[in-house]
Amino acid sequence: MSLCVAAGIPPLKIARFAGHAQVTTTLSVYAHLFEDDQSGAMSALEAMGLSTSVNARRLHC
C-alpha cells in the first residue's frame, strides 16, 4: 500500500483497495507516508476566490 501512497492515489481509493471498512483505518496506518505539504490545497482554495466570469462578483467580508 505504501507504493499506492507514493503514486499519489487518494486515501479513500487505497482504503477500498486494501479492504478497509473505514478510511480512518488507512489513514492511521499510512498517515506518515502522506505529504504534509498543503500548498496544493491552499492554491485550490485561493483559485476559488478569483473571478473568472463576467456575471460573478467577489464577496467582501
**pTM, entire model:** 0.54
Q: What is the pLDDT of residues 23-49, one digit of tens each?
A: 999 988 888 887 766 677 777 778 877
Contact 15, 25 (CB under 8 A): yes
Residue 48 lies in a domain: no
Higher-pLDDT residue of 41, 19: 19
Residue 49 lies in a domain: no
Q: What is the pLDDT of residue 15?
A: 93
Residue 15 lies in a domain: yes
Residue 59 lies in a domain: no
Residue 43 lies in a domain: no
Domain hosting residue 14, numbered range: 2-35
Residue 22 lies in a domain: yes
Q: How many structural domains compose the chain?
A: 1
Average pLDDT of the chain to the nearest whole number? 80
Residue 23 lies in a domain: yes
